[in-house]
Amino acid sequence: MKVAVVGGGLAGLSAAIRLRADGHNVTVYEKNERAGGKLNIREGNGYSFDTGPSILTMPWVLEKLFASAGRKLSDYVEIMRVEPQWRSIFEDGTTIDMSGDLPTMVAELEKISHNDSAALFDYLSYSYKQYELCMKSFYAKSISGLSELRSHHSLRELLAMDPLKTVNQATKSFFDDARIQQMFDFLVMYVGSSPYHSPAILSQLAHVQMGLGIYYVKGGMYNIARGMLRLLEELEVPVQTNAKVAKIEHTNGKATGLTLESGETVYADLIVSNLEAIPAYQSVLADVPQAKQETKKLEKFNPTVSGLVMLLGVDREYSQFTHHNFFFSRNPQLEFSQIYDEEVPADDPTVYVGISSKSDPSQAPEGCENWFILTHVPPLKSGESWEQHRTRYRELVLDKLERMGASELRKHIVFEYQFIPDDLQSLYGSNGGSIYGVAADKKRNGGFKIPSRSALLSNLYFVGGSTHPGGGVPMVTLSGQLTADLIKNDLKNQSIKNA
Ligand SMILES: Cc1cc2nc3c(=O)[nH]c(=O)nc-3n(C[C@H](O)[C@H](O)[C@H](O)COP(=O)(O)OP(=O)(O)OC[C@H]3O[C@@H](n4cnc5c(N)ncnc54)[C@H](O)[C@@H]3O)c2cc1C
């Protein structure tokens, strides 16, 4: 079969590898000059920055992808564990280092609260159970909703998912100290969702982080994309860059090919869209009958947070910080309520600072540091621009960092580049500049994502953060693989029907 993949983000590249390994004739069409999507790079004044993901979790997903094409991940990408995992910094001066080393983690919590330190074991066991349940269903199959989930689990297992609780309620049931609760709650930002709205099953992210470890890719995270592109070249899969898809052609409920912005048309038997489902229905699929109605049905799948990204070349070293640092807000409930409920930038946001030069000196000149600063903000509403907040929010973030230990940071900035939600939207086509696709919301969507199989065209599938199993590097890479499984199964069923 001739398969066209719209978009060369990690999900599109992952789907292309798997579909090629399954014997299809695959081509990837990417609108930007470089594939990788949100996983990307920028360089300046001797500094290198990953512009998107900086923390890699669940590396087994990448290993599985490379193995599906008969390769070993380690021959393409060099990953290294990061310890301590995060430095959590609070306004009252408290710091807690998250660690995958149990005695270290216990000692860190013991500094704050003996009871909470003792509760860690029960919390990790709960988190591990949630993760194991997901390995049976969410991480094994492309799931379209609750009825499909039920078919993979006994009633006992479904109840063990703690369906009545949110992440925050689960965290609070183990820990008393507000700072410790805030730190563990924040793990759910790996998938861009609020701990006050997302289902408790996402408490598994504690096991993902502390049980499985967090990783950095030597030479920069973009080497993940480079590794996938090298594999695709070996598999003879063309990845066309500067090739924006303007329209998905179709007839009688079936996709027939693509028209590129250049005017070129391409025939395809099957299409995989790495462009998120809602923006796809509003652009490249806008003329499909029922596209508007389908978009309306998908309204329960809100975009996740977007972000203000600041890349700073700093001409000194700050020894008090580690590779990954979280500068927490004073009041997480207010912070999340402003971002997710009121949909305004938080007055006092949590700020993430990644300094990869701490683990990899090749990323900054000697004696200097490459600061990647991410502050989550609400996604854009239709027609909205974030330009109005840019200057004020930059100052607010820098004030917070200087107040919480980065003394005279402003004086030491020798390179600066920013991405605002408008950039994330226009660069990657994401809904409202969403970073992680679709938000997990217990009430609105039960934590499910948009089904991978399109409801409108029988041979169109979606991959990436808006579809199952969701956002973040491991999840979108898994979505490419699970969608390839789904396609394989659909083709098998079709040939049985046709026989
Ligand atoms: C600032 C930031 C920090 C992050 N931090 C982390 C982290 O630490 N850890 C983590 O796991 N995840 C992190 N993420 C999330 C992670 O980067 C994403 O979940 C993941 O990379 C998304 O991959 P994707 O393939 O779903 O989408 P994308 O990467 O958005 O890929 C979609 C691709 O489709 C292309 N495209 C769109 N429209 C068209 C068209 N019409 N024609 C052709 N091509 C088109 C786009 O150019 C893009 O390349 C972060 C993201 C950002 C932005």
Q: What is the DSSP annotation of 388-412? A: GGHHHHHHHHHHHHHHTT-TTGGGG
Residue type, 497: K
The maximal CA–CA distance of the chain, rounded, in angstroms, is 73
pLDDT of residue 443: 87
**pLDDT band at residue 227, thresholds of 50, 70 and 90?**
very high
450 in ligand 1 pocket by Cβ < 6 Å?
no
| Ligand 1 center to 214 CA (angstroms) | 19
Cα of 499 to ligand 1 centre, how many Å?
A: 40
Percentage with pLDDT > 90 across the chain: 94
Query: Which residue ranges form the domains of the chain, and what is each CATH number?
Result: 2-37+220-301+450-498 (3.50.50.60), 99-213 (no CATH)
Query: If you search the block for the tokens 């380690």, which residue do you land on?
Result: 74
Q: How far is CA 37 from CA 42, 279, 315, 357, 479, in A?
A: 13, 15, 29, 23, 15
Q: Cα(275)–Cα(244) distance, rounded to whole angstroms?
A: 11
HSE toward the beta carbon, residue 437, CA cutoff 13 A: 33
Q: 51, 214, 274, 306: which to mutate for ligand 1, most atoms within 8 A of CB?
A: 274
Closest by CA to 371, choosing from 358, 353, 359, is 353
What are the structure tokens assigned to 171, written together?
A: 């965290």
Task: Calculate how far, in angstroms, residue 33's C-alpha sits from the geometric centre of ligand 1.
Answer: 14
44: CA distance to ligand 1 center in Å?
A: 22
- Phi and psi at 484, nearest 5°, equal -65, -40
pLDDT band of 147, cuts 50, 70, 90:
confident
For the Cβ of 11 lying below 6 angstroms from any atom of ligand 1, the answer is yes
Query: Does any ligand 1 atom lie closer than 6 A to the CB of residue 5?
Result: no
pLDDT band at 8 (very low <50, low <70, confident <90, very high): very high
- Cβ pair 182, 209 in contact under 8 A: no
- 3-state DSSP helix/strand/coil percent for the chain, to nearest 5? 40, 20, 40
Atom of ligand 1 nearest to the CA of 427: 47
Q: Whose CA is nearest to atom 53 of ligand 1?
A: 52
* Segment 324-370, tens digit of pLDDT: 999 999 999 999 999 999 999 999 999 999 999 999 999 999 999 99
134 lines ligand 1 (CB under 6 A): no
> What per-residue confidence (pLDDT) applies to 159?
94
Handedness of CA 230, 234, 235, 238 (dihedral sign): positive
Distances in Å between the Cα of 445 and the Cα atoms of 131, 340, 381 are: 20, 15, 20
* pLDDT (tens digit per residue) in 104-120: 999 999 999 999 999 99
pLDDT at residue 496 is higher than 80: no
Tell me how far apart the alpha carbons of residues 226 and 73 are, in angstroms, rounded to a whole number. Answer: 12
Closest residue by Cα to atom 5, ligand 1, is: 53
Rounded CA-CA distance 369/354 in Å is: 10
